[in-house]
Amino acid sequence: MPHTPDPIEDGLDSLPPPPPVFHVEQALLGAILLEPHRAAGLTRITIEAFSTAAHAALFAAIRSLPAPEPAEHAKTTTWLNQVLTAAGEQTRGLTTTYLHHLIQCCPEPRHAPAYARIIEAEHARRLLRDAAQRLLHTALDTTLPQRVATTLAEATTLTTVVDDIANRFPPHPGSLPRTPATPAVVHDEEASGDEEVLLASATARPASVERMRWLTPADFTHPLHAMLWRCLSTMARRGASIDPVTVRWEAQHHGLLTHGSEPAGLLGFLGEPAGCDPEYWGERILRRSLLTTAHHTGRHIEALTHDPATTTYQLVVGSRRALAGLNTVRTRWHLATTPPPANARVSNRISAPPRAGPPPTTAPPAARSAR
């Protein structure tokens, strides 16, 4: 006979399997239901650490009830009924059969602390993933009125999550985390145009280059523009004459002009009129670099959390490495956007009298007579 599709059965078959930590939660709850006194030693795990509402409700009910006497608990199901009633007030679908199933899922009740530690580690992974996703989505949200400030606030929150995980899970010797694939660089016409305007205005106003040490070649999206900024910075530091001709000559020495290329055509934008402030365009480029770095940082950490082979120790190490790059750009952004402090007023302090020296051994020379 042909198979008649059953919508309920087919729907259940299409559900994804539960994560591995789900079975660990079953083992932990089974251990406590079988031997309730073991719940007193689980002080670090929280209700939020459980992946399902049913498991969280059961754990909350267990904590809210006093543990029964072991001898009495072995004879009656009174305490189990109380747990089921208390948990049923928080969520639906729990049955006596499921409680007995949880007890059967526990291979060894005395391993309850190990089960709890695994659940804590997976909860830390979820918290880290959520914070990383908030960072990358914020960095891409163009509707935010204070996009940079909000992004940096999310980066601070993510750093706090990483530090909290590091405090709860002491470091141990282990291999470094695998580095996720680097996202491909997408050519941005607007970013490229901003970079050309900056290079042209900086060539016309070279004195501004020294004041813009907060801008680095890594902030540019186009490799040619990054190397040209390196050329301009090098020339400014050594006090060289800067104009479109000298910059092209410097670019040639840096290998930017290939054989047969026409300097005027390749770097023609350097000689275009640029009456704008280079620092304004530099801040635009640095702002874009900051948001792009924040997005890549969030996506990098998110990828680490999705790798089940990554341990908690590796999550902390990998996240801190990713955040270090973002903090570097953040520091440079602070330098670029913070106005210099006002010149401190010079106080009219009376200078201290000179210290007395040893008495002279020879007579002072006679004063010359005025002519």
What is the per-residue pLDDT across 157-199, written as a single tens digit (0 to 9) for each? 999 999 999 999 987 776 667 766 666 656 678 888 899 999 9
Per residue of the chain (371 residues), give pLDDT as tens.
Answer: 445 454 444 444 556 788 899 999 999 999 999 999 999 999 899 999 999 999 999 999 999 999 999 899 988 999 999 999 999 999 888 999 999 999 999 999 999 999 999 999 999 999 999 999 999 999 999 999 999 999 999 999 999 999 999 999 987 776 667 766 666 656 678 888 899 999 989 988 988 999 999 999 999 998 889 999 999 999 999 999 988 888 888 888 877 766 444 555 556 777 776 667 899 999 999 999 999 999 999 999 999 999 988 999 999 999 999 999 999 999 999 999 987 766 544 444 444 444 444 444 444 444 444 43
Alpha-carbon gap, residue 200 to 273, rounded angstroms: 7
Residue 268 CB neighbour total at 10 angstroms: 14
Contact 60, 90 (CB under 8 A): yes
Domain 119-174+191-338 has CATH 3.10.20.30: no
The answer, as to whether pTM is greater than 0.85, is: no
Q: How do residues 235-256 score in pLDDT, each as one tens digit?
A: 999 999 988 888 888 888 877 7
Alpha-carbon gap, residue 136 to 113, rounded angstroms: 35
Q: Print burial letters for 324-352: b (CB count within 10 Å at least 16), e (below 16).
A: eebbebbebbeebeeeeeeeeeeeeeeee
Q: How do residues 331-340 score in pLDDT, each as one tens digit?
A: 999 999 987 7
SS3 175: coil
SS3 238: coil
Tokens 């405090």 found at: 167
Parse the chain into domains and list their residue ranges: 16-107, 119-174+191-338
